[in-house]
Amino acid sequence: MDYIRNIDGGFSVIENLKVSGAREGKYGVSIILCPNSTASGVFTSNKVVAAPVKYTKNVLKKGIVSAVFINSGNANCFTGEQGFKDCETLVELVARDLKLPKDEIAISSTGVIGREMPIDTISKVAYESLSNLGNQPENSLAAAKAIMTTDTFPKECAVEVTLTTGEVVKIAGITKGSGMIAPNMGTMLSFIVTDAVIPAKEINNALKQAADISFNMIVVDGDESTNDTCLLMANGASGVEAVKDGKIDENFQEALNYLCIDLAKKMARDGEGATKFIEANVCGAKDLNDARLAAKSIISSSLFKSAVFGGDPNWGRIVSAIGYSGCDLNPDIVTIAIADDSDEVDLVKNGEILAFEDTPYLERAEKIMQSKNVIVNIDLDLGDFEATAWGCDLTYDYVKINAEYTT
């Protein structure tokens, strides 16, 4: 796709956009200033929903977002009426400082559930972040760092895309996510801005399509967060319309998909305690749902994730995961292979088992399982649909991190 190009600088590549980030200990605040942007979002499907998720859903009814407030260190979830009051307090703080309407300010939080917001500390960090707003690469990086919790590195991406009309627009985004990641939208926090001109309805459709093949296809631990939020904002700074006859430009959609997949894979690589990256590719499914079920089941399997950590070529765990995924499966025709960046070996070919003990197939599989990138390729041979999911291994450190999360 030569019409999509990676560019450096994160949010700084978007004109008429300012961002910032600041921290004090475990508490961070990022601000995104994007005046009069059309916007939409996708959110967690957890029945326990954090106060900022409910607050932002209400803001999005207007379809315009001019600023986003994000804090880390406290989820502001299961905090009762006080949680909503804290959202209002923080939004009013931003509204006064930036002279913006309160109903155009979205809010998002990440951190410990069931703890009252340390409003004095968060407000202090918020003022510091507001004083540092800018449009340089270091501002974007600071914003990406301030929203981190157990993440080990900041996650940002920016692309330039040539539309089918020949005009050029940019898309940039940051995300955070390391644990409590499961495929059910959005399993993380992600904030994306484009300088294209896009009505809110088309933004919603484009974001949902991108999320379905990216953020909804990653698994670290199978636990779905209460705060999952992904916002897409279009500030129109380029003056270029990315919608024609009510449909999003196909090149723009591909670029948005690309950016979201890049951010999603970075989260999977940074899974809590992770040492290896897993990709599961499923083709030959009878429908798209089956392809996604099988792919997600493989990277969700605690047994297989543990095998990847130990470098154990126990491919029976792959078979088992596909079998209970809910997808249609005929064991007599399925093909199962594993690969890394330099080799691929069939374990089962059209239903024929190749990787018995002491076979060269199993020996090659064992070497592949030692790699940092482990790829599982499945052909169900039942149709024409395919899907890809991403995850990581399950390690001792994952247990340690989560055993000591609040202490």
What angle, 0 to 180 degrees and rounded to 10, lies between the N-to-C axes of helices 200-212 and 250-269? 50
Contact of 266 with 274, CB cutoff 8 Å: no
Q: Return all residues near 391 (Cβ < 8 A) that are at least 6 apart.
A: 218, 219, 220, 268, 271, 277, 278, 280, 299, 300, 305
Q: Cα(307)–Cα(199) distance, rounded to whole angstroms?
A: 47
Q: Cα(154)–Cα(141) distance, rounded to whole angstroms?
A: 7
**Residue 79 is among the residues annotated as catalytic for this protein:** no
Q: Helix or strand or coil: residue 216?
A: helix
Q: Return all residues near 83 (Cβ < 8 A) that are at least 6 apart.
A: 50, 51, 76, 77, 117
| Catalytic-labelled residue, pool 149, 187, 335, 388 | 187
Cis peptide before 173 (omega within 30 of 0): no
Q: Helix or strand or coil: residue 108?
A: strand
Residue 191's Cα: distance from chain center in Å?
A: 10
How many other C-beta atoms can be found within 10 angstroms of the C-beta atom of residue 407?
4
Under DSSP, the state recorded for 11 is G
Strands of 373-379's sheet, edge to edge?
218-219, 385-392, 277-285, 373-379, 335-339, 344-349, 352-353
Contact of 303 with 339, CB cutoff 8 Å: no
Residues assigned a catalytic role:
187
